[in-house]
Structure 1
Amino acid sequence: MTSETLEHRGPVRWTAPVLVNLLLGLPALAPLGCAWWLLSEWLPMDCRSVEESYAPGFTGSCNYETLDNGPVLMGLGAVSGLVVLALVVLANRGFARRADIGRSVWTRAVPFVLLPFAVLWALLL
């Protein structure tokens, strides 16, 4: 075995892909946070417009701030999600062209993008 093959075995081989994907997880906090807000605040509401709450027989509750912020967070989540997705694809496809680490290692390291959000979510609950 040469020194080149020993150099990229084990944890050293995984260091760059994991670190890059963890760093990409920081800007991924924006779209994931928007998606979490939409799922936890906006979707469970009883109404979709202010006018709906004035209808006779309406017994639900409307949060007007949530109604106002919903479209903004949908747009922000979509735009920032596309940007982060493009960054993840570019980084993992571009760096995977290096023959010494290999494409499969980069592909298996992609789930580390979600780790910063999972840690933040666990700390906030």
Structure 2
Amino acid sequence: MRRSDTGSDTDSELDSVGSSRTGGGPWAAAGANLALGVLATFPGMCVHWLMTEYLPMDCGSQGTRGTGCDPDIFVSASFYMWGAGIGGLVVLALLVIVDVLMPRQEGWPRRLWLGMAVLVPVPFVVGLALGRF
């Protein structure tokens, strides 16, 4: 409490704003992690492509002349590998910032934010279920 110019006791502006802020609740944690999930669709698509297109090829001892070998896939493979690696690292760094460092700095419950991290793959899984990826 501080004394205003008129002589009455009032809360300072910072105290009234700080006490009315309820950031860090379950809706904020869910929204932030779902937004991270939207960003995580790019490395997710890269890993999905690597698992479904690149790994099942049967080149065998015949090199790229095998029946299941497609030489065009070899051209695209490095893009998807780099996309999965770098994109995954970026999403992991953002996940640490949003779910660990930010709640720690603001005094929000970290257990809630870390628990909501399970929502990160939801946009990718929904995209797969709808046949968009």
Structures share fold, TM-score greater than 0.5: yes
- The residue number in structure 1 matching 2:54 is 42
Gap change, CA 1:48 and 1:28, over 3 Å in 2: farther
- Runs of 4+ in structure 1 over 3 Å off: none
SS at match of 2:91: helix
Gap change, CA 1:107 and 1:48, over 3 Å in 2: farther
TM-score, normalization by structure 2: 0.74
Gaps spanning 5+ residues in structure 1: where? 1-6
SS at match of 2:69: coil
Higher relative contact order structure (alpha carbons within 8 Å, sequence separation ≥ 6): 1
Cα distance in 1 for partners of 2:63, 2:50 equals 19
- The residue number in structure 2 matching 1:13 is 25
Cα distance in 2 for partners of 1:61, 1:118 equals 28
The answer (yes or no) to whether the contact 1:48–1:67 under 8 Å persists in 2 is no
- The residue number in structure 2 matching 1:95 is 102
Cα distance in 2 for partners of 1:53, 1:18 equals 46
Greater Rg by CA: 2
Gap change, CA 1:72 and 1:48, over 3 Å in 2: farther
Aligned length: 110
Cα distance in 2 for partners of 1:48, 1:115 equals 37
Gaps spanning 5+ residues in structure 2: where? 1-20
Residue of structure 2 aligned with 1:27, choices 29, 33, 39: 39
